Amino acid sequence: MFDLSGKAVLVTGSTRGIGRAIAEGLIEAGARVVISSEDAADTARVASELRMPGLACDVADDAALACLVDFACAELGGLDILVCNAGITGKAGPFASIDMDAYARVMDVNLRSQVVLCNLALPRIAAGGGGSAILVSSLSGLRGNGRINAYALTKAANAQLARNLAVEWGPQNVRVNAISPGFIATELSAPLLADEAFMQRRMAMTPLRRPGTPQEVAGAALFLASPAGAFVNGHNLVVDGGTLITDGS
């Protein structure tokens, strides 16, 4: 049910953290995966380590995204699965003091890129007989927050984009879902992991009383990409240890 042997996959933002864990999980299940990030050196290094093709891509550049999809199809002989993981957090703070240029950059990288990439990739997936797309959203798109401004806005939109595309592409056997990770222990979250006061407060809000791991998010992606999730479409799968549903007790 979780076998992806012979499947062709593109994962953006796949050189570290959640994106790399997803790529590794899909490779372990038998898929061939194109590795990509904005950093050319990182992309080449991780592609070499995983023995997979790689191409650097700034996802805010429409032409670069088109080249990335063409590259993936040429290297893999088509495309079956797309994972839109690349994203940036932007500068924390309230909307009242937000810098609109920074806001526009977060919107371009986190949301516009997913729209453009899906418009480029989903017709290819449909032409090959169907498959799956997974848009990485976030718990922050499901809860209010006084400091995670544009990022949270884009993540709420990612989940809605998955629902809209699921309706649009379902008749062509292309499933589109979102994943909303909660607090995950990654390189980027290292400063928060080291903040004892923050961790005590944050883990009190999580019934499992621990952060998640990138591999646990990868497991959710494998489910949505594989035959095991073949009747799941337009869903936002929350991977947060129960943070969303708890009353904090």
- What's the rounded mean pLDDT across residues 1-9? 98
DSSP class of residue 212 equals B
Band of residue 226 on the pLDDT scale cut at 50, 70, 90: very high
Query: Is the pLDDT confidence value at 249 over 90?
Result: no
Band of residue 245 on the pLDDT scale cut at 50, 70, 90: very high
| Contact call for residues 206 and 242 (beta carbons, < 8 A) | yes
Predicted pLDDT of residue 188:
85
Domains in the chain, CATH or no CATH each: 8-182+214-239 (3.40.50.720)
Bridge partners, residue 84, by sequence? 135
The whole-chain average pLDDT of the chain stands at 97
Q: Given the residues 103, 151, 183, 223, select the one marked as catalytic.
A: 151
Express each pLDDT in 48-90 by its tens digit: 999 999 999 999 999 999 999 999 999 999 999 999 999 999 9
| Contact call for residues 60 and 102 (beta carbons, < 8 A) | no
Distance CA 122, CA 127 (A): 8
Express each pLDDT in 101-148 by its tens digit: 999 999 999 999 999 999 999 999 999 999 999 999 999 999 998 999
Band of residue 248 on the pLDDT scale cut at 50, 70, 90: confident
**Phi, psi (5° rounding) for residue 9?**
-130, 145
- Would you call 151 a catalytic residue per the annotation? yes
Between the CA atoms of 237, 34, 117 and 81, what dihedral angle is there, to the nearest 10 degrees? -50
Distance CA 125, CA 73 (A): 10
Its pTM stands at 0.97
Question: pLDDT > 70: what percent of the chain?
Answer: 100
